[in-house]
Amino acid sequence: MIGLAFLWSVSSCESSNSDSENQAVALTPEDDELKMLQSFLEVGLGKEVVWKNHWKSEVGEFLSSDFNLVQSDSINPMEMPEKNPILPDDPLYPYQLPNPNGNGTMDIYSYKVEAQDAIDQPFLNPDSEVVWYREDGMKERLLFMGPSGMFEEGIWVNAETFLVFGYFQEESGYRPMAWIIDLGEHFVHRFELQKKSEQYQPESYINQKIKKVDLSLNGV
């Protein structure tokens, strides 16, 4: 999988059964689980209309059924004690995504966007990550992606399921993507849109989304 890395803990990588634990799971269109995942995508696109319209202007009209499941895999998250450092006076605080049952906050922007007070001009880091700051004071790093793509939007489908929208840059263009994270089972399902755009301004959605941070002069 080019450019996208799921983060395994050191102990799981060294365990004798890690190969069997990390095998991708194939789902067919007839599987009830795949139908449920497609319904999550439909809910997410229905709520994240701005993200959908943003990419509609790039690739044309699309529906949840236009996303294909390309991989399902287990996640052994990088977990460590750390409370959420994004406090109310941080410009990224309004863009934190609280768990609907109060179990912490999901963060998809603070690793990507450098916007602390000590920085004269905010800028974008080349890499992206999805982090869950749990209510018990633990941090789980769930997804990581290098400079070939970006996590642009996130939404809680329910208290145990988090949906991430973004894109991946291929040789022939930029393709919208979706990741559905099952936090209870620590599983992630990766979907890709059947359409792509030959040209795309990488920071365009982040600039539109995060009004308090001006990234207009900075690329990724």
Q: Are 122 and 213 contacting, i.e. CB atoms less than 8 angstroms apart?
A: yes
In tens, the pLDDT along 125-164 reads 889 999 999 999 999 999 999 999 999 999 999 999 999 9
Q: In the structure, what pLDDT confidence band is assigned to residue 214 with cuts at 50, 70 and 90?
A: low
Mean pLDDT value across residues 15-29: 44
Identify the pLDDT of residue 207.
86
Joined together, the tokens standing for residue 56 give: 């509609």
Asked if 208 and 50 count as a contact pair (C-beta separation under 8 A), the reply is yes
DSSP string of 168-194, one letter each residue? EEETTEEEEEEEEEETTTTEEEEEEES
Rounded Cα distance, 182 and 160, in Å: 6
pLDDT tens digits along 69-85: 999 999 987 899 999 99
Report pLDDT digits (tens) over 25-60.
566 656 899 999 999 999 999 999 999 999 999 999
Residues linked to residue 81 through DSSP beta bridges, in sequence order: 138
Share of the chain above pLDDT 90, in %: 67
**What's the angle, vertex CA 139, arms to CA 134 and CA 143, rounded to 5?**
105
Averaged confidence pLDDT in the chain: 83
Q: How far is CA 75 from the centre of its chain?
A: 14
* The pLDDT value given to residue 78: 85
Q: Is the pLDDT of residue 97 over 70?
A: yes
Q: Answer yes or no: are the C-beta atoms of 8 and 142 closer than 8 Å.
A: no
What is the pairing mode between strands 67-74 and 187-193? antiparallel
Q: What is the CA radius of gyration of the chain?
A: 17
Q: How far apart are CA 146 and CA 32, in angstroms?
A: 32
pLDDT of residue 122: 62
CB within 8 Å of 93: residues ≥ 6 apart: 86, 87
DSSP state of 108: S
